Structure 1
Amino acid sequence: MMLGAIEAGGTKFVCAVSDNDLKIIDTVKFPTTTPAETLIKIVAFFKPYTLSAVGVGSFGPIGINPDTNDYGHILNTPKLAWRQFDLRGALKTALNVPIYWTTDVNIAAYGEMMAGAGQGYSNIVYLTVGTGIGAGVITAGEFYYGIAHTEIGHTLLQKQAADSFAGSCPYHQDQCAEGLAAGPAIEQRCRQKAEKIGATDPVWAIEADYLAQLCHNITLTFAPEVIIFGGGVMHQQQLIPLIREKLATKINGYVELPSLTDYVVPVGLGDQAGLTGGLYLAQKLID
């Protein structure tokens, strides 16, 4: 028997199969198109294998309460073909195995806790900074849920007085973290993609300030043991030291933190965090 993982992103789906020791034996990646086309590709990939369970992390927002009618559905997404689509239900019908259902950032957070930069901790926040900004929050080893999953990327920040950028978030413009600091915000502000901007460009100090504000808010709200950064924007290696420096200034000694080199850290598993977490969550269903 084998385990499956699906990282269901708004841009692409990534699927994996592992043995029961979580050794990955096959993977596939394909663009996110329509639900019907995407399901055909998922089923075709998993068909040769006998699965015990599948861990799924989906783009969102998603329904996460098993007691509500929208459980397993993708909710108010800008991807209109997927709005209100019951992805969990469709996968359970197509694959006929138990499905662990959560967000794409949550499975990455779980992967980091189990096998990456979050090992040894049970209270972590995983932040991804890329096309959007999202966070997976784990407290006492379990995902943090309330009336919904967290949407930390849309929490409000203080805009720098010298920053004239109008913001990229369609809901909050230049008021939220995603509108000020996600990949599209950097690209629109600088009129070029982040990877083409030099490491000493002043935009990185602006970016680090906004991400440090986010860490400040997370620290005082969730009090995690570690904040782990992933996502394409964080390939800029100069950002982590800048964020640590600015976070220390913003906290200003109000709470005692661990060494910031241990508290604000880069992702340990890279692009494998989501798949790894999905497999560990699938394993939970059969243990």
Structure 2
Amino acid sequence: MRSWERRLSGERSNSNSNNDPGSDIVGRCKYFKQFDIAALSIASFGPIEIRKTSPKYGFITTTPKPGWKDTDFLGYMKKEINVPMAWTTDVNGSAYGEYTMSTLFNEKINSLVYYKIGTGVGAGAVIDGHLIGGIGHPEMGHVPLKRHPEDLDFKGVCPYHGDCLEGLVAGPTFEARLGKKGKDVPLTDKTWDILAYYIAQAAVQSTLILRPNKIVFGGGVTNATLLEKVRKEFDKLLNGYVTVPDLDQYITMPQVKNNGSANVGNFALAEKLLTE
């Protein structure tokens, strides 16, 4: 029995590790027990198991985060709090939050893709009010890309694929390329142009595969100057092949500030459990 399992079983544990899931789950359960809640939604980092027919439904599975691999997050939450629970990825939660906000502001949309570009890269998509995913949730941050001609020697930082989207544009790529954090890199540095080229390819892929009404880019790497570069690269790459909305409305920053889109999404997904 692992330390976090002992905590959830009521046994004492001396572990104070930040990588101990028990500290996290116990703290969350304690917080939510303060309230008379009717439903709960959990939007977790992944990969996670979302198939309700799987014996590992509700597990965090092959995550590289120390201590969290094969953690039955949802199962232990349900043991402590007996209410209906939605279970999805953090980026799916953000996608649903941005979709919800768009409908509240009377935008005429029925579909949306959300990318979070931070320490890693993930994406979620909503079509007609439903998150997409069949045998698993999307992993759109790990797609292969055409390399920028001035970036051919960079091997990428993804431990699985090297130079996938995450490996080429996630936050750690700044230190890998330049030896400093992204916040310290001037927006005039050509590295931002290289990132824009890769991010625009992701937007083209989502456009041609899903044909969404809107693509939202959030996360710590994203900023208004970068997205302006992305729009220009996107326009060149798409080359008028299909019609899309005005790019200022099509490729956007999140409506919910401070990376709070998933909070809105969780409220909406929890409410959905009670109304369907």
Deviation string, structure 1 residues 214-264 (Cα, Å, up to 9, x no partner)? 111111111111000100001x32111110000000001111111111110
Task: Give the partner amino acid of 2:263.
Answer: L
Structural mapping, 1:109-148, within 5 Å: 109-116=95-102, 119-148=107-136
Task: Give the partner amino acid of 1:211.
Answer: I
The SS at the match of 2:138 is coil
Q: Mean alpha-carbon deviation: is it higher for 204-213 or for 120-129? A: 120-129
Structural mapping, 1:55-204, within 5 Å: 55-116=41-102, 119-163=107-151, 164-174=153-163, 176-204=164-192
Task: Give the partner amino acid of 1:72.
Answer: G
Task: Give the partner amino acid of 2:255.
Answer: G
The SS at the match of 1:225 is coil
Look up the match of 2:21.
35
Distance in 1, Cα, partners of 2:194 & 2:207: 20
Distance in 2, Cα, partners of 1:187 & 1:98: 43
**Which of these residues, 241, 249, 256, is aligned with residue 236 of structure 2?**
249
The SS at the match of 1:127 is strand
Contact 2:95 2:261 in 1 (8 A): yes
**Which of these residues, 249, 253, 256, is aligned with residue 266 of structure 1?**
253
Task: Give the partner amino acid of 1:67.
Answer: T
Instruction: Report the CA distance between 1:116 and its aligned residue.
Output: 4.7
Instruction: Report the CA distance between 1:120 and its aligned residue.
Output: 3.6
Contact 1:116 1:273 in 2 (8 A): no
For the pair shown, the structure with the greater C-alpha radius of gyration is 2
Distance in 1, Cα, partners of 2:44 & 2:246: 33
Distance in 2, Cα, partners of 1:109 & 1:172: 25
Contact 2:19 2:68 in 1 (8 A): no
Deviation string, structure 1 residues 61-118 (Cα, Å, up to 9, x no partner)? 1111101112111111112421111111111111121111111101111111111598
Distance in 2, Cα, partners of 1:109 & 1:280: 11
Distance in 2, Cα, partners of 1:213 & 1:39: 37
Taking only the aligned residue pairs, the percentage that are identical comes to: 38
Instruction: Report the CA distance between 1:43 and its aligned residue.
Output: 1.9
Look up the match of 1:239.
226
List gaps (5 residues or longer) in structure 1: 1-30
Give the ranges of 4+ consecutive aligned residues of structure 1 lying more than 4 Å apart after TM superposition: 116-119
Deviation string, structure 1 residues 17-37 (Cα, Å, up to 9, x no partner)? xxxxxxxxxxxxxx9631211
TM-score by length of 1: 0.85
Instruction: Report the CA distance between 1:47 and its aligned residue.
Output: 2.3
Deviation string, structure 1 residues 185-242 (Cα, Å, up to 9, x no partner)? 12211211111111111111001000001111111111111000100001x3211111
Contact 1:187 1:194 in 2 (8 A): yes
Return the structure number with greater strand share. 1
List gaps (5 residues or longer) in structure 2: 1-16
Tell me the number of residue pairs that the alignment of Structure 1 and Structure 2 aligns: 255
Distance in 2, Cα, partners of 1:128 & 1:63: 20
Instruction: Report the CA distance between 1:283 and its aligned residue.
Output: 0.9
The SS at the match of 2:79 is helix
Look up the match of 1:19.
none
Contact 2:19 2:66 in 1 (8 A): no
Distance in 1, Cα, partners of 2:108 & 2:58: 30
The SS at the match of 2:40 is strand
Distance in 2, Cα, partners of 1:186 & 1:224: 30
